[in-house]
Amino acid sequence: MQNVPLPVVRPRRLRRNAAIRDLVQETRVVAADLIAPLFVKEGDGPPEPVGSMPGVQRLSVADLVAECRALHGLGVRGVALFPVTPASAKDPAGTEALSPGCLVLRAVRAVKSAVPGLVLFTDIALDPYTSHGHDGILTADGSDVDNDATVGVLAKMAVLHARAGADFVAPSDMMDGRVAAIRAALDAAGRTQTGILAYAAKFASAYYGPFREAVGSARAAGTTALDKRTYQLNPANRREALADALLDESEGADMLMVKPAGPYLDIIRDLREASSLPLAAYQVSGEYAQLHAAAEKGWLDLVKTRDESLLAIKRAGADLILTYFAKDVAKALAEGTVAGR
């Protein structure tokens, strides 16, 4: 038997025990990296569970304020608000979005008053307000979303959110030119300090289903096919995604976002290398739901896969992560029991 030379380089020396592994760990997730998406509903009723998203609830404004206080106390620095608009307030043009007394504006004022140190991100899109569930105003024949008419409404909507106290408006509609229009409208209204978190690479993904249930969209209710591929990105297109994202940067976005996160780690890395702006990634409802579903079957360890999924998003290049796991992870971080600590 021939003598096999022993290795000179032994990478396992850096994995020998927990203390060494902790010293050389390259990527960490901390509470300040996380933004919690929250759903707010009308009325004073108790929280309503979202069936496809265990642990996620639709909250009254009062309960929303309490949740924001709890998140801030755990070190979470930002929340993203999504209103659940009653069906009676929806119409084809989404006119409720421009109502001075609409739900999201009342929620922003309440949270900002109660937790002024929390950074508030608000969704700028019409799908919570339209009866057809699209992210904008439809063309006369109803075959597509009218880009320019929609952009005009979004700019007005952003100004209302800024005046209510939003720190960042987050256009998620994927209309052409909306970042430039929103920046111009904010500046003209004297809201030069209000930032824009652009959904810069938002894909026409199959992972959004549970979110649509949470906000009561048309797709979840089964009333329309809701094909959004004329404005959201083709999941097959990497170069197009990068071009779209960099266009948002050139139009004045302060932060960029990739959505979904887990299936698009390559896009996160591409954009991280192409831009110096803060980069967010949205671990969407379907990503959250699939981990819970597999854990309920006993096929995966929920905590370990949760932590690994967030580390992967951070390792790919995201500075900030929108995740429905934000509160649980922040608690685990405080206890020192999460990966990446």
Catalytic residues: 202, 259
Report the 3 state secondary structure along the chain: CCCCCCCCCCHHHHHCCHHHHHHHCCCCCCHHHEEEEEEEECCCCCCEECCCCCCCEEECHHHHHHHHHHHHHCCCCEEEEEEECCHHHCECCCHHHHCCCCHHHHHHHHHHHHCCCCEEEEEECCCCCECCCCCCCECCCCCCECHHHHHHHHHHHHHHHHHHCCCEEEECCCCCCHHHHHHHHHHHCCCCCCEEEEEEEEECCHHHHHHHHHHCCHHHHCCCCCCCCCCCECCCCHHHHHHHHHHHHHCCCCEEEEECCHHHHHHHHHHHHHCCCCEEEEECHHHHHHHHHHHHCCCCCHHHHHHHHHHHHHHHCCCEEEECCHHHHHHHHHHCCCCCC
CA 158 to chain centre: 17
Q: Do residues 340 and 32 touch, judged by C-beta distance below 8 A?
A: no
Amino acid at 260: P
Sort 226 into a burial class: Cβ within 10 Å, 0-12 / 13-18 / 19+: middle
